[in-house]
Amino acid sequence: MAALKVLVGVKRVIDFAVKVRVAPGGKGVQTQGVKHALNPFCEIALEEAVRMKERGAAAEVVAVSVGSSACQEALRAALALGADRAVLVRAPEGPPGPREAAAALAALVATEKPQLVLLGKQAIDDDCNQTGQLLAALLGWPQATSASRVELEPERGAARVTREVDGGLETLRLRLPALLTADLRLNEPRYATLPNIMKAKKKPLEVLDWAALGLPPPLPRLRVLALEEPPARGGGERVPDVAALVDKLRQCGRI
Ligand code: AMP
């Protein structure tokens, strides 16, 4: 089997260290002037693809994002982390939901023809955790979600994937082309070095319009009616000993 072409879906999200605030009007979260970054699980997916390239198992790593022009910043970060080139599919309005993201990624798979698609197991913005499953279904490809170990088996045209499941590990063999989503323990992503950040500025980043991919206009299926901050936490109380603690918990109906 020749070295693979790997497509990695990368999503731009609010940085994990930012305290997310409800925007005035209560229909979304504040995004203006807020630090954004690559979704951490996408960094892990990308790291796995870059390692495949470094050991000669992958020929090309293409990072793909679906969203607004601002996603170019996430794609430049992916290029600095080792992707060879990047593609932005510009979504016509608002941040795309999993259905739109999966449809756009499926259209790109049709043109790019990768043998492997790697995504994060979830995005930390809305935790919807559906894009990989929807995309595998649209492509009719085998999928392994929450991968914690990936071994390519070129002689079989397959990948052997260990998944973290409730109460243990599951090992699957998937025939390629296939889709994998990355779990936390798959690897530890590298940091982008300054020379690589500079080199990334010269790597190709293609911008495609939604309609140019032959995609129908997105049909929003969900409307956020209201978002509220969690209630502020009340102050704590010190109790002298365990007996008093148990008493207190009984009184407030916790045990
Ligand atoms: P989610 O289904 O939103 O939790 O996202 C799971 C994974 O799907 C992410 O880690 C990305 O790899 C991929 N993904 C989701 N949305 C996008 C997007 N707009 N552009 C590129 N990849 C995406």
Q: Which atom of ligand 1 is nearest to the CA of 119?
A: 12
Per residue in 147-186, pLDDT (tens digit) is 999 999 988 999 999 998 888 999 999 999 999 999 999 9
The sheet that has 4-9: what strands, in order across it? Answer: 168-175, 158-165, 143-153, 178-182, 116-120, 4-9, 58-67, 85-90, 205-209
- The CATH number that domain 4-251 falls under is 3.40.50.620
**Quick one: which atom of ligand 1 is closest to the CA of 122?**
4
Residue among 86, 85, 84 nearest 12 (CA) = 86
Mutate-to-test residue for ligand 1 from 38, 42, 139, highest number of ligand atoms within 8 A of CB: 42
Q: Encode pLDDT of 12-29 as tens digits.
A: 999 999 988 898 888 888
CB-ligand 1 contact for 65 (6 Å cutoff):
yes
Q: Whose CA is nearest to atom 7 of ligand 1?
A: 120
Instruction: Determine whether the shortest distance from the Cβ of 66 to ligand 1 is under 6 A.
Output: yes
Parse the chain into domains and list their residue ranges.
4-251
Cβ–ligand 1 contact at 101 (below 6 Å): yes
Ligand 1 centroid from CA 234, angstroms: 36
Contact 40, 170 (CB under 8 A): no
Please write the tens of the pLDDT for every residue from 77-132.
999 999 999 999 998 877 888 889 999 999 999 999 999 999 999 999 877 789 99
pLDDT band at 1 (very low <50, low <70, confident <90, very high): low
Looking at residue 179, what is its pLDDT?
A: 98
Average pLDDT over residues 190-212: 96
Could you tell me the distance, in angstroms and rounded to a whole number, from the CA of residue 82 to the centre of ligand 1?
A: 19
Q: What b/e string do you get for 2-15 counting C-beta neighbours within 10 Å, with b at 16 or more?
A: ebbbbbbbbbbbbe
Ligand 1 contact, 122 CB (< 6 A): yes
CB 229 within 8 A of CB 22: yes
Return the pLDDT at 8.
98
Contact 165, 46 (CB under 8 A): no
| CA distance linking residue 255 with residue 244, whole number of Å | 13
Average pLDDT over every residue of 43-71: 96
CA of 15 to the centre of ligand 1 (A): 15
